[in-house]
Structure 1
Amino acid sequence: MAAGGPAGGRGDGQGGLRAALSGLTTRGRSFLAAGVAAAVCAYALGQADLLRVGLLLAALPLICTLVVYRTRHQVTSSRGLSPARVPATTESRVRLRVDNVSRLPTGLLMLQDRVPYVLGPRPRFVLDRVQPGGRREVSYRVRSDLRGRYPLGPLQLRLTDPFGMCELTRSFTAYDTLTVVPRTEPLPPVRLSGEAAGYGDGRQRSLALAGEDDVIPRGYRHGDDLRRVHWRSTARYGELMVRREEQPQRARCTVLLDTRRTAYQGAGPDSAFEWAVSGAASTLVHMLERGYAVRLLTDTGSSVPGEGSDGFAGATQDSADSAGLMMDTLAVVGHSDGESLSPAYDVLRGGNEGLLVAFVGDLDKEQAAVAARMRQRSGAAVAFVLDSADWARGGVQDSAGPAAEQADDRLRRLREAGWTALAVKPGTALADLWRQAGQESTAGPVGGTTAGTGGWS
């Protein structure tokens, strides 16, 4: 919540008074001029009654200016967003509150909040007088079809007196930020072939380094293999104990987002790049909700700021915090100037990266070969490949043309390397492709290669 203090915009000495006098309206200037003229004429003609009328006319706008100028420093404002992070095309409510901390009532108040044009027109409100110690609250809604971070504010406050003699504008300095994250969609639970069944200690396991003498037993759980019963510990503790021969290891998932400028054509909410960003966001949320340690990786080799040394989020942080961190990153991600996926390939260390889900754009033969080698550094790999030219044409493509042959060739290269590669057509829902990827993975790899092991759900 942003707030503007009562001291903001205070003027000092003659400079402040000149600024206040500059706020006289046409009516106020007319009254002042008429009063001065009447006073001069009264002095010249010796008319005392006319002099009193002239002084009254001249004093009224000056008194109104003084009251408004003093009220200017006794009004505070605050702003609140609910929520401060919203998906694209979703509305957020902005609440403005104005407090009168002076001992005098205010005049007519006109509020105008500055918002980017993407969020809509600037909201304006007119408030009647606010009693001493009183407050007024107003609200408006903002909505954006484009992801990003948008500043709201500062608030502009126009004060006027009941007679309309003076009008002053005050700008507060505080502002808030609305974060518009990519749209996400719920994904169905699917399973890749080769996922470990386990005994319930974890999705993935590694053998314990301790021998029989150093075994650390635990209590028996329903479904444990009776061959794992440790009889010596059972006799010592008086209850059935089993050997902890395997150490639980949290399942990992790396979501790779291709942001190369050369890999995408077109722009806007319905472009191929925005679909890829939205797909990456949906995958991140889906995997975090199912207990995976997730890493967001781009073609430049950079990950989400603030992650652990292994680059995975969710293992030591709360899943909601991890999701918010990565969604904030995706809210402002843009095209990179790189032309290769090699930096991302170098980040993948090999063998222990778990599941790899990639959203890639156009791939030439060289980049398709780099992507194919990435498969060797993950347990299981799924690629959603977007043909940006097809998206730019709205899905109208010659199925027998060179572009179609090139698209089929890169899919074939990825599948031969062990990827579960799917072509993304314009307007296709990610949930349908997600389900299709699970079916193709269960049916077996294409091209006769072994897909390896790794699970997702």
Structure 2
Amino acid sequence: MNLIEKLPSGLLTVRGWGFVLTAVVALLFAQVLGRRDLLYVGVLLLALPLASVVVLRLVKPRFTVNRRFQPQTMEIGSTSTVTLSLTASVAGGASIAMEERLPARFGQAPRFSYPSRNPTRDGVSLYEYRIRSTSRGVYDIGPVTAEFTDPFGLGKSRHVLGTADPLVVTPAPVELLGSALAGSRGNDGMAVTRRQANPSDDDVMTREYRHGDSLRRVHWAATARHSELMVRQEESVTTPQATLLLDRRHSSFSTGFSAVFGADAGDSTLSTSPTFEWAVTAAMSISAHLLERGYALRFLDQQGAPALLHSPSAPLPSEEEHHGQGAVEGIAEGLAALGLAPETGHRAPGHVDRSGSTAVRAGEAARSAVRRVRGQEAETPAKTPHARTPHAVFGDDLLDRLAATRHRGPLIAVLGLITTEEAHVLASASDYGSPAYAILAADRPADSRAQLDILREAGWHATAASPSAGLPAVWAGLEHAVGRSAAHASPAAGPTPSGRPDASLPGSRP
């Protein structure tokens, strides 16, 4: 029996191999003893397993496989329930062992047998299991693999049933410090403005009666003063705007040894690092914070393009403006598969920023050394540090887009470890936000001191944080992250469309 169990089990079962060995023995004895009856028995015992294998290969089972996720997209750390339904084209038959294929990060693959213990009246077998993920991404769940055997239990064959379905795991937003919006913004974050028909101080709330106006809006005091029918001034609602900038360059979020060896992505093809994961969570949290308060959000990358343009999971990758109830879910799905991008722009591959931080210089030197060892060093002429060209990092494309909505709302930049030259280029963008905030995610925040000073002196509220820092504390600390000149200036938060500061933003005063 031990010898049979050691034989290959991909085609025949233990019983099938037993038939084959018995057939071989019968054929040998038939040859030695000259017994024709043993010859017939040996041929029959050998033909049965072979016929079973051929039939299992030719006859492919037909199953209808449906898979449903609840919820359809899941956040990091949450649980999703997978409901699997299987229906065979031909009812009846023996029990079939099946297995659902899962990525390794979800643990052991669920195994079950078909049909289930309690199938529906239509013959549908239902199965449920739960999965949980600790990292974002788009993962293929399935397909189902089944092991079929013949009625005699001699041969077996594995078949793939159905296809895989993608499961989107989104970053989980963190609750940020916020309060009810001040002034005439209201609880929904909208700013109320009034269109005045008469600019005098007495009539700022009234206008002349027009055909179709409701009599309920008649302002009798103003009517008596003007000797004509006056109605209360119409009110219109404007949506406040905000711009969120996300830096997704590989060189900004991987320095030192991590720039050479890369981050451990496990079974996911997502190019990322712990620092970039923190930045993605920050972008998700800030987006949810603003959208839930009624802001219309523009989401851009470091070149001024839509931030989710290169995300395979984005529902509308070319959209840069997000607003409304479904905007939070759309941004979350887009950030699910957003990875780091190769370095582009004006900084050459071999360029080392001598005035930058120690970590930046170490990362550039390490990458340059690896390229020389591999024989891939390319001589690229370095450009002028402050030259801004279209499609460059923090270049004209980005600044033009920011200038189009100048002073219409806050500008928030979630960056990696930028150089001092890039900080000088980005410093001028503070004029386009009211106010402007910058969060630099770095393994060692102390290396960003020079860059922070440049941004703060230009009017930015800038701070640096490591991946272990708590995002709510970093967000709340932006109030005091200003330069010396800005600390003695007017309040940090700029006016909203209603002319009052937004109390939900750090540094605001109701």
Tell whether the 8 Å contact from 1:84 to 1:177 is kept in structure 2 after alignment: no
Which amino acid in 1 is paired with 2:283? A
For residue 242 of structure 1, the aligned residue among 232, 237, 241 is 232
The separation in 2 between residues aligned to 1:63 and 1:104, in whole angstroms, is 22
- Residue ranges of structure 2 left out of the alignment (5+ in a row): 1-9, 218-230, 265-271, 310-314, 348-392, 497-501, 505-510
Tell whether the 8 Å contact from 1:201 to 1:248 is kept in structure 2 after alignment: no
Tell whether the 8 Å contact from 2:456 to 2:481 is kept in structure 1 after alignment: no
Deviates more, 1:423-432 or 1:132-141: 132-141
* Root mean square deviation, CA, Å: 4.2
Q: Map residues 162-181 of structure 1 onto 2, 5 A cutoff.
A: 163-181=152-170
Say how many residue pairs are matched: 398
Q: Which residue of 2 aligns with 1:436?
A: 477
**How far apart are residue 328 of structure 1 and its match?**
1.9
Which amino acid in 2 is paired with 1:346? D
Tell whether the 8 Å contact from 1:263 to 1:388 is kept in structure 2 after alignment: no
The separation in 1 between residues aligned to 2:138 and 2:152, in whole angstroms, is 42
Which amino acid in 1 is paired with 2:112? F
- Superposed CA deviations along residues 169-201 of structure 1, whole A, max 9, x for unmatched, are 111351111112112111231489xx7646999
- Residue ranges of structure 1 left out of the alignment (5+ in a row): 1-21, 214-224, 391-403
For residue 15 of structure 2, the aligned residue among 24, 27, 52 is 27
Q: Map residues 191-206 of structure 1 onto 2, 5 A cutoff.
A: 197=184, 203-204=190-191
The separation in 2 between residues aligned to 1:408 and 1:163, in whole angstroms, is 76
- Superposed CA deviations along residues 134-154 of structure 1, whole A, max 9, x for unmatched, are 343333333332221111222
**Relative to 1, partners in 2 of residues 1:380 and 1:206: Cα closer, same or farther, differing over 3 Å?**
farther
Which amino acid in 2 is paired with 1:377? Y
1:271 and 2:274 correspond: yes
1:313 and 2:322 correspond: yes
Tell whether the 8 Å contact from 1:119 to 1:144 is kept in structure 2 after alignment: yes
- Superposed CA deviations along residues 346-387 of structure 1, whole A, max 9, x for unmatched, are 321341542212211223222212222111112222222233
For residue 183 of structure 1, the aligned residue among 169, 172, 179 is 172
Q: Which residue of 2 aligns with 1:324?
A: 329
1:79 and 2:67 correspond: yes
**Relative to 1, partners in 2 of residues 1:97 and 1:200: Cα closer, same or farther, differing over 3 Å?**
closer
Tell whether the 8 Å contact from 1:255 to 1:294 is kept in structure 2 after alignment: yes
The separation in 2 between residues aligned to 1:373 and 1:384, in whole angstroms, is 16
**Relative to 1, partners in 2 of residues 1:135 and 1:70: Cα closer, same or farther, differing over 3 Å?**
farther
1:117 and 2:104 correspond: yes
The separation in 2 between residues aligned to 1:186 and 1:383, in whole angstroms, is 18
1:141 and 2:141 correspond: no
**How far apart are residue 35 of structure 1 and its match?**
5.9
Deviates more, 1:110-119 or 1:177-186: 110-119
The separation in 2 between residues aligned to 1:226 and 1:349, in whole angstroms, is 35
Tell whether the 8 Å contact from 2:116 to 2:125 is kept in structure 1 after alignment: no
Which amino acid in 2 is paired with 1:453? P
For residue 340 of structure 2, the aligned residue among 318, 335, 341 is 335
Q: Which residue of 2 aligns with 1:347?
A: 401
The separation in 1 between residues aligned to 2:318 and 2:273, in whole angstroms, is 36
**Relative to 1, partners in 2 of residues 1:364 and 1:146: Cα closer, same or farther, differing over 3 Å?**
same
- Superposed CA deviations along residues 91-142 of structure 1, whole A, max 9, x for unmatched, are 333333332331432x242223332233334443345788996343333333
Which amino acid in 2 is paired with 1:158? E
Which amino acid in 1 is paired with 2:409? G
Tell whether the 8 Å contact from 2:253 to 2:273 is kept in structure 1 after alignment: no
Q: Which residue of 1 aligns with 2:418?
A: 363
The separation in 1 between residues aligned to 2:212 and 2:79, in whole angstroms, is 63
The separation in 2 between residues aligned to 1:149 and 1:310, in whole angstroms, is 20
**Relative to 1, partners in 2 of residues 1:309 and 1:203: Cα closer, same or farther, differing over 3 Å?**
farther
**How far apart are residue 243 of structure 1 and its match?**
1.9
- Superposed CA deviations along residues 401-442 of structure 1, whole A, max 9, x for unmatched, are xxx4x633332332332222233245332222333335779x
The separation in 1 between residues aligned to 2:76 and 2:338, in whole angstroms, is 14
Q: Which residue of 2 aligns with 1:261?
A: 250
The percent of aligned pairs where both chains have the same amino acid is: 28
Q: Map residues 81-96 of structure 1 onto 2, 5 A cutoff.
A: 81-96=69-84
**Relative to 1, partners in 2 of residues 1:236 and 1:153: Cα closer, same or farther, differing over 3 Å?**
closer
Deviates more, 1:324-333 or 1:122-131: 122-131
Q: Which residue of 1 aligns with 2:495?
A: 453
Which amino acid in 1 is paired with 2:332? M
> TM-score, normalising length from structure 2?
0.65
> TM-score, normalising length from structure 1?
0.72
Q: Which residue of 2 aligns with 1:415?
A: 456
Which amino acid in 2 is paired with 1:347? R
For residue 301 of structure 2, the aligned residue among 298, 301, 319 is 298
- Superposed CA deviations along residues 223-259 of structure 1, whole A, max 9, x for unmatched, are xx98402353599642233223x64321112211111
**How far apart are residue 445 of structure 1 and its match?**
4.2
Structure 1 counterpart SS, 2:304: coil
Which amino acid in 2 is paired with 1:437? L
The separation in 1 between residues aligned to 2:167 and 2:455, in whole angstroms, is 39
**Relative to 1, partners in 2 of residues 1:325 and 1:90: Cα closer, same or farther, differing over 3 Å?**
same
**How far apart are residue 67 of structure 1 and its match?**
7.8
The separation in 2 between residues aligned to 1:250 and 1:381, in whole angstroms, is 19
**How far apart are residue 71 of structure 1 and its match?**
7.3
